[in-house]
């Protein structure tokens, strides 16, 4: 009987907390914004595009930015290149000459030190009131700034981001699962935003008020987006996701590549959340404490409880074959898919927790094998170029 009680306890802490968190955030996501949104807020912006050997897609990226519906004289595009050895810089130079109406600058790093280091190099050259980051393989609808920047007019908002949408979501099992995962995360992140602030940002579109942006990833977590907004929590400023500022990208087709990306991302998330644990313990967090505690329970405590859940499950199965009947719920496809995704994510987080304990960090970002999936016809179909 004691083992069954422990099983229920560990099951709740691993899956129950996750489920309750999603239900609460989905409910919060449906609430109206309580912000001062000003559609007349049109600040000067600096758009940072970090690159390394992006010759296959950099012209598409510049074409995409060039068609943004925003005053040209208020936009400064800074391409920060980490020592590319292909034709990336030549293509940027040619594009700038062909489009003199577009303000394009180039910052060249002599050595690759990682994405955050590259962004910090470019940050010193920014004159805009708002600093926006966009990866080279991410593409914006033309109205993204018109929809997103008005939220920054609220004095309590320090940064805004948008949800990621896959251009090739139906291309493989890996992309379909990633699409479903992103949809769930968007609901969670929006709910957190409506509750105060979110812990998770996307590098495809993230905009920061320059006056509150000291540097990218100041605590050296390895995450240029999630690590950067930690400082906002200390200052009691909000970092929010806006559903209307959706951006588009592609995703690798293989399951192996998906897991590789997840492990790298999870390593960053673990380091970010450990920093939040320290800030909470030292009473340095001024706002959104409930959202932070929720993240700690799900992403740090959850994986450990999952291992204990597996151990007690094996013990119960060894004692009673009838206990296996409880798993008939897995015959329901949707439940099975969500459960398998949760198990996979917990295993990835466990690997990442171990990596953090041995101080393994992904300092230099690796370029995913999805650049060849970015095709001109797909971008034109979605009116992105």
pLDDT digits (tens, 9 = 90+) for 123-181: 988 989 999 999 999 999 999 999 999 999 999 999 999 999 999 999 999 999 999 99
pLDDT digits (tens, 9 = 90+) for 207-230: 999 999 989 999 999 899 999 999
Burial of residue 101 (CB within 10 Å: 0-12, 13-18, 19+) is: exposed
pLDDT digits (tens, 9 = 90+) for 226-263: 999 999 999 999 999 999 999 999 999 998 888 888 88
**pTM of the complete model beyond 0.95:** no
- pLDDT attached to residue 334: 67
Residue 7 has pLDDT above 90, yes or no: no
- pLDDT attached to residue 324: 66
Q: What is the mean pLDDT of the chain?
A: 90
User: What is the 3-class SS of the chain, one letter each residue?
Assistant: CHHHHHHHHHHHHHHHHHHHHHHHHHHHHCCCCCCCCCCCCCCCEEEEEEECCCCCCHHHHHHHHHCCCCCHHHEEEEEEECCCCCCHHHHHHHHHHHCCCCCEEEEECCCCCCHHHHHHHHHCCCCCCEEEECCCCCECCCCHHHHHHHHHHCCCEEEEECCEEECCCCCCHHHHHHHHHHHHHHHHHHHHHHHCCCCCCCCCCEEEEHHHCCCCCCCCCCCCCCCCCHHHHHCCCEEEECCCCCEEECCCCCHHHHHHHHHHHHHHHHHHHHHHHHHHHCCCCCCCHHHHHHHHHHHHHHHHHHHHHHHHHHHHHHHCHHHHHHHHHHHCHHHHHHHHHHHHHHHHHHHHHHHHHCCCCCCCCCCCCCHHHCCHHHHHHCCCC
Residue 333 has pLDDT above 50, yes or no: yes
Residue 315 has pLDDT above 90, yes or no: no
Residue 99 has pLDDT above 50, yes or no: yes
Q: Which of 71-80, 237-246, 361-370 has the lowest mean pLDDT?
A: 361-370
Mean pLDDT of 61-66: 97
CATH of domain 1-374: 3.90.550.10
Mean pLDDT of 268-272: 93
Q: Cβ distance 133 to 162 under 8 Å?
A: no
- pLDDT attached to residue 113: 82
Residue 384 has pLDDT above 90, yes or no: yes
- pLDDT attached to residue 111: 81
Residue 25 has pLDDT above 70, yes or no: yes
Helices 173-195 and 333-357: angle between axes, nearest 10 degrees: 80
Confidence of residue 335 (pLDDT cuts 50, 70, 90): low
Per cent of the chain over pLDDT 70 is 93
Confidence of residue 330 (pLDDT cuts 50, 70, 90): low
- pLDDT attached to residue 364: 47
């Amino acid at each position: 009987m004691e083992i069954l009680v422990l099983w229920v306890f560990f099951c709740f802490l691993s899956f129950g907390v996750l489920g309750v968190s999603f239900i609460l955030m989905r409910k919060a996501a449906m609430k109206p914004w309580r912000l001062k949104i000003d559609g007349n807020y049109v600040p000067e912006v600096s758009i940072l595009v970090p690159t390394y050997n992006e010759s296959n897609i950099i012209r598409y990226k510049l074409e995409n930015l060039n068609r943004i519906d925003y005053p040209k004289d208020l936009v400064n595009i800074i391409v920060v290149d980490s020592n590319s050895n292909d034709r990336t810089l030549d293509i940027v130079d040619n594009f700038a000459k062909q489009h003199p109406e577009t303000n394009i600058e180039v910052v060249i790093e002599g050595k690759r030190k990682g994405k955050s280091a590259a962004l910090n190099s470019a940050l010193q050259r920014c004159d805009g009131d708002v600093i926006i980051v966009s990866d080279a393989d991410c593409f914006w609808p033309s109205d993204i700034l018109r929809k997103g920047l008005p939220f920054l007019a609220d004095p309590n908002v320090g940064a805004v981001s948008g949800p990621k949408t896959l251009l090739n979501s139906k291309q493989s099992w890996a992309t379909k699962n990633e699409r479903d995962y992103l949809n769930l995360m968007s609901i969670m992140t929006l709910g957190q935003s409506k509750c105060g602030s979110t812990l998770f940002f996307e590098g495809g579109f993230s905009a920061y008020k320059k006056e509150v942006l000291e540097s990218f990833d100041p605590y050296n977590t390895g995450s240029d987006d999630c690590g950067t907004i930690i400082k906002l929590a200390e200052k009691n400023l909000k970092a929010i996701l806006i559903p209307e500022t959706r951006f588009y990208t592609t995703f690798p087709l293989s399951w192996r590549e998906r897991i590789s990306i997840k492990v790298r991302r999870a390593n960053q998330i673990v380091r970010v959340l450990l920093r939040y644990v320290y800030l909470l313990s030292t009473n340095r967090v001024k706002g959104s404490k409930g959202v932070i505690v929720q993240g700690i329970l799900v992403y740090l405590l959850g994986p450990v409880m999952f291992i204990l859940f597996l151990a007690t499950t094996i013990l119960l199965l060894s004692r009673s074959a009838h206990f296996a009947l409880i798993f008939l719920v897995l015959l329901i496809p949707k439940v099975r898919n969500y459960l398998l995704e949760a198990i996979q994510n917990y295993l990835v987080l466990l690997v990442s927790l171990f990596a953090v304990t041995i101080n393994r960090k992904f300092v230099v970002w690796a370029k995913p094998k999805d650049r060849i999936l970015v095709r001109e016809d797909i971008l034109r179909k979605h009116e992105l170029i």
